[in-house]
Amino acid sequence: MFTRHPWLVQVLASYVVYGHSKARHDDHSLAVYETPGFTAAQADQAATAVFTYVLGNATGTAATASLTRRLDQDHTAEEQFHEAMTKAREIAEHYPRLRARLGRAGQGRGASRADIAATTDGATR
């Protein structure tokens, strides 16, 4: 959804969005946590944590989708992007942890099973 509508990430992060559809979504999200036994407070915390995590991860995806659309329309943007990435790589070479990650950019993104288990741990209590 966020790649088709990259503007939505910015809207959700910047504005108070509310209406019947958003309320239905929020109610369903809370039910996902309350059904296995989360208290109302735990469900609020878990839903907020997951929403924030997803929104944070979607920011990069939405930015990439938006940039790709611009690159398709403006070839000078492609050159600017290439120059910026080249400079960023040159700077990263001076920092050992960043340098080690240059060859594997984009790998390992997303939640591991351990991350998900830690987030949903309250469901088993």
Q: What is the DSSP letter of 110?
A: S
Model-level pTM?
A: 0.53
More confident residue, 118 or 97: 97
- DSSP notation for 21-46: HHHHHHHHHHHHHHTTT--HHHHHHH
C-alpha–C-alpha distance, residues 104 and 78, integer Å: 22
- The arithmetic mean of pLDDT across residues 18-46, rounded, is 93
d(CA 34, CA 79): 50
Provide the token pair at 74. 């403006």
Residue showing tokens 């920092």: 95
Domain ranges within the chain, ordered by starting residue: 7-124
> 114 pLDDT exceeds 60?
no
Q: What percent of the chain has pLDDT over 90?
A: 27
**Tens-digit pLDDT profile for residues 66-92:** 777 776 666 676 677 788 889 989 999
109 has a pLDDT exceeding 60: no
